[in-house]
């Protein structure tokens, strides 16, 4: 096998290279559409293949060419991204091996499979592993990247630039890969479950579903942005929101009674474990104007929802206390990463970006978090193993209890 530095490789021309996706599924579509939307690559330089015309629509709708077979993509492209399921990755690479010269830069998006195996299957080591998420479509993925032995500095820059345009990229040692993917990839699905559960709590407390979902997404989005932008620990930010005997701490008490943190940590650890296993087996304003003025003022520092005052306690339980619940969730996800072997700093920044990206996906796509979660959780995969842990731990019930308890405490305090 041609290894690191033994063979002179042709540099990839950054202004002219063609990018191919082998596996035209959810993740490939998110990354490809994200790249086109961010103006990084024109659709005329992106290719993929799928036999089914219906599965081509996501790509063709933005002008990406979809061939009928993988061979055409491999022949046409200089940078080839493998985005098929881990279970079939080996056979797909082996089938294309005669076309995969060392002048082509290869990239795998699959969880689980290590560079050593990928390089063996391809017959050379100019390979990069990247694990993004479907939040790439809106430019908010939490992405992990590992370099193969023969990937050049230019290769590394090119891939970091591509994926940096559709999210944040962390380059790290491959031994941290499974745990990092459990946060950056699967973690977005855990965040969707948390957002949905917080919204459900609001519905129990009497808020209309639509308001609940937007408030809950904004609470997670704002909390994740606070962690990233202030650099403060989520525990510290949570303490700032939870005053003695107040409404927020009543909700947090419910989270802790329900072992909410343990469920989240279990989810991250179970997802990491499943990655290993898969590879092993394979106040009312006076006038309308005042109201608008206040809405404008507060809109400058966040989003504002106008509503009947009778909904106020439940809405505050999400929009206000909800940020504290989000801090607890972010901290717990980061703790899960540490339990799975990730350094604390990386774990916390990945977890914040995972929540930020997931909340932004709910707000920007207008899709239901359950639907977005389903797109990430494939049958028998790593993400669903983590979600199973959340459900076993009654994670949703804890979040709903937290919103209801906070609303109740608000009523009590108002009396
Ligand atoms: N989704 C995520 O959030 C996420 C995050 C991190 C990493 N990943 C990794 O990304 C990869 C793709 O995941 P995904 O969620 O995008 O899965 P997906 O939606 O199922 O996409 C896989 C695609 O591959 C196609 N395919 C099946 N056999 C093929 C073959 N022999 N040649 C070419 N294409 C073939 C499938 O076609 P059919 O539809 O006809 O089966 C499908 O369109 C996986 O390895 C996963 O580990 C995903």
Q: Give me the domains of the chain, ranges plus CATH numbers.
A: 19-171 (3.40.50.720), 183-414 (1.10.3730.10)
Query: What is the predicted pLDDT for the residue at 283?
Result: 43
Q: Is 354:227 a contact under the CB 8 Å cutoff?
A: no
Atom of ligand 1 nearest to the CA of 108: 45
Q: Is 392:259 a contact under the CB 8 Å cutoff?
A: no
Distance 110 CA to ligand 1 centre (A): 8
The residues near 41 (Cβ < 8 Å, ≥ 6 apart) are 19, 35, 162
Find tokens 């959340």 and name the residue: 390
Query: What is the predicted pLDDT for the residue at 294?
Result: 43
Q: Which residues pair with 124 in a beta bridge?
A: 2
Distance 85 CA to ligand 1 centre (A): 4
> For a pocket test of ligand 1, which of 20, 21, 23 has the largest count of ligand atoms closer than 8 A to its C-beta?
23
Distance 153 CA to ligand 1 centre (A): 28
Helix (H) or strand (E) holding 237: helix 234-241
Collapsing DSSP states into helix, strand and coil, what is residue 169?
Answer: strand
Query: What is the predicted pLDDT for the residue at 140?
Result: 95
Distance 28 CA to ligand 1 centre (A): 7
Query: What is the predicted pLDDT for the residue at 306?
Result: 63
Distance 389 CA to ligand 1 centre (A): 24
Pocket of ligand 1 (CB under 6 A): 22-28, 50, 52, 55, 70, 83-86, 88, 92, 109-111, 131, 133-134, 185, 376, 378
Which parts of the chain sit beneath pLDDT 70? 1-7, 281-319, 414-415
Collapsing DSSP states into helix, strand and coil, what is residue 80?
Answer: strand
Query: What is the predicted pLDDT for the residue at 42?
Result: 96
* Protein residue closest via CA to atom 38 of ligand 1: 25
Q: Which residues pair with 145 in a beta bridge?
A: 130, 171
Query: What is the predicted pLDDT for the residue at 1?
Result: 58
Distance 181 CA to ligand 1 centre (A): 16
258 phi/psi in degrees, rounded to 5: -85, 10
Query: What is the predicted pLDDT for the residue at 407?
Result: 87
Query: What is the predicted pLDDT for the residue at 319?
Result: 66
Query: What is the predicted pLDDT for the residue at 276?
Result: 83
User: pLDDT tens for residues 272-292?
Assistant: 999 888 777 654 334 445 445
């Amino acid at each position: 096998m041609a290894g690191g530095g033994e063979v002179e490789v042709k540099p990839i021309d950054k202004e002219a290279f063609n990018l191919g996706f082998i596996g035209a599924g959810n993740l490939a579509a998110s990354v490809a559409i994200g790249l086109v939307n961010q103006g990084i690559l024109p659709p005329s330089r992106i290719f993929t293949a799928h036999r089914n015309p219906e599965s081509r629509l996501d790509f063709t709708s933005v002008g990406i060419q979809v061939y009928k077979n993988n061979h055409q993509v491999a022949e046409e492209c200089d940078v080839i991204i493998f985005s098929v399921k881990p279970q079939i990755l080996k056979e797909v690479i082996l089938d294309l091996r005669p076309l995969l010269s060392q002048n082509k830069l290869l990239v795998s998006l699959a969880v689980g499979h290590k560079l050593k195996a990928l390089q063996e299957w391809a017959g050379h080591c100019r390979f990069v592993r990247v694990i993004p998420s479907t939040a790439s479509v809106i430019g908010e993925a939490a992405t992990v990247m590992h370099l193969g032995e023969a990937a050049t500095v230019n290769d590394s820059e090119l891939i970091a630039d591509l994926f940096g345009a559709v999210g944040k990229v962390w380059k790290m040692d491959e031994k941290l890969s499974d745990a990092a993917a459990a946060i950056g990839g699967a973690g977005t699905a855990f965040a969707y479950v948390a957002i949905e559960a917080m919204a459900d709590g609001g519905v129990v407390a009497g808020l209309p579903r639509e308001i609940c979902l937007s408030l809950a997404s904004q609470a997670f989005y704002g909390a994740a942005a606070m962690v990233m932008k202030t650099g403060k620990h989520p525990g510290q930010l949570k303490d700032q929101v939870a005053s003695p005997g107040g409404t927020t701490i009543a909700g947090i008490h419910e989270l802790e009674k329900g072992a909410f943190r343990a469920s989240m940590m279990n989810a991250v650890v179970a997802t990491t474990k499943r990655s290993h296993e898969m590879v092993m087996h394979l106040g009312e304003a006076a006038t309308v104007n005042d109201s608008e003025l206040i809405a404008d003022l507060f809109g400058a520092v966040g989003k504002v929802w106008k509503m009947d005052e009778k909904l106020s306690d439940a809405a505050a339980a999400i929009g206000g206390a909800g940020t504290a619940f989000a801090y607890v969730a972010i901290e717990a996800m980061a703790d899960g990463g540490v339990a799975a072997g990730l350094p604390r700093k990386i774990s916390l920044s990945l977890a914040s970006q995972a929540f930020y990206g997931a909340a932004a996906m709910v707000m920007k796509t207008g899709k239901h978090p359950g639907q977005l979660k389903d797109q990430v959780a494939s049958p028998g995969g790593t993400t669903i193993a983590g979600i199973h842990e959340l459900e076993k731990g009654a994670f949703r019930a804890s979040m709903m209890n937290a919103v209801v308890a906070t609303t109740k405490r608000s009523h009590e305090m108002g009396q």
